[in-house]
Amino acid sequence: MSDRLAPGIARSAIGALIIAEMTSATSATAITYSGHTAILVCHMALLSGHHRRNSAAAIRECFDANADRIEIDVHSLAGDDYAVFHERRLQTETTGEGSIGNTAPDAFRAVRWLDDAGSRPPLLSEVVEMARGCDTELQLDLKDWRLLSRERITPLLQTIAPIHDRVVVSCGQDWNLRRLHEADPSLAIGFDPGHYLDYVIEGSEVFLPRGMGAYGYRDDHPIAVGRTEPTASYLRERMSILALQVPGARELFLDYHMLLQMLDDGFDVVAWLHDRHIQVTAWTVDYRSEASLRILDRLLAVGVDRITTNTIPQWESATAASRLPG
């Protein structure tokens, strides 16, 4: 197997059985545990883990399996299409070179994976064509940091038009979400506030927010300079400010570490968002051991709507095993 596979993919008979069940025409990627249910989102279109992340093969597998939602990374190109690609420079994973945002669609079609000369990253238009005739929601995690011009927004809206009602565009760049909402108020958008409020650093050399605030969260806002209120009051105020940054957001994407810490600090962020008719997706929650079930239990118990994960087979195996008698 390639090193592109998700870590620890189940190879057992029960794992194979679960994959078979999930790829039937009537199944979906919902998970129930301790009496609570949420949707599992295929992160970078990973379902079985047998295919490269964000690849056409992985995306097709999700569509064939009738997955409720898949998430893929997209970036604008210098033309009338978008690339399904996570990195900002082509040479990180492909035979191409340079900034992906300066690459024309035809040039992007010509690149190949560095470790697989027989295939390439897909274009968004190709994914939309694959999505015709299925019910799977498509979450487009927008990687552009540049201010999206009308010339870059229009190709996105035109490309997704055939499946518009099944698309949600997510990102942490609130400036681009506001521009998308202005261009198409009916487009579902979701905000990840991690550039402004966070609890852990993911290991990147460049991270935001830069500083640790007085309440124990990474936060560069002036309200976090000194501790003047109970932590729960501070969190409530910060979420109010963040919600105003993207008033059209129908969904918030929260790092599950931060979400759990907010609960520990006495602020039920899920209930707060639900009261404002905003859904909640926790990311990226992978099954690693039996202790992961305790995390899942807490997230489901507070009513998280979706959980983004790389390890759907392991979750299905673990929760199925927990229901076995004895």
How confident is the model over 263-285, as pLDDT tens digits?
A: 999 999 999 999 999 999 999 99
Topology adopted by domain 13-322 = TIM Barrel (3.20.20)
pTM of the full structure = 0.90
H or E segment at 275? helix 269-275
pLDDT of residue 279: 98
| Confidence band, pLDDT 50/70/90 cuts, at residue 321 | confident
pLDDT of residue 205: 63
User: Would the pLDDT of 25 be above 80?
Assistant: no
Task: Please give the single-letter amino acid code of residue 84.
Answer: V
| Confidence band, pLDDT 50/70/90 cuts, at residue 325 | low
Residue (of 213, 252, 255) closest to 234 by Cα position: 213
User: Would the pLDDT of 252 be above 70?
Assistant: yes
Domain-wise residue ranges, the chain: 13-322
pLDDT of residue 155: 98
Segment 177-185 shows an average pLDDT of 98
pLDDT of residue 203: 62
pLDDT of residue 324: 58
Mean pLDDT of the chain: 91
pLDDT of residue 323: 67
pLDDT of residue 322: 76
User: Would the pLDDT of 102 be above 70?
Assistant: yes
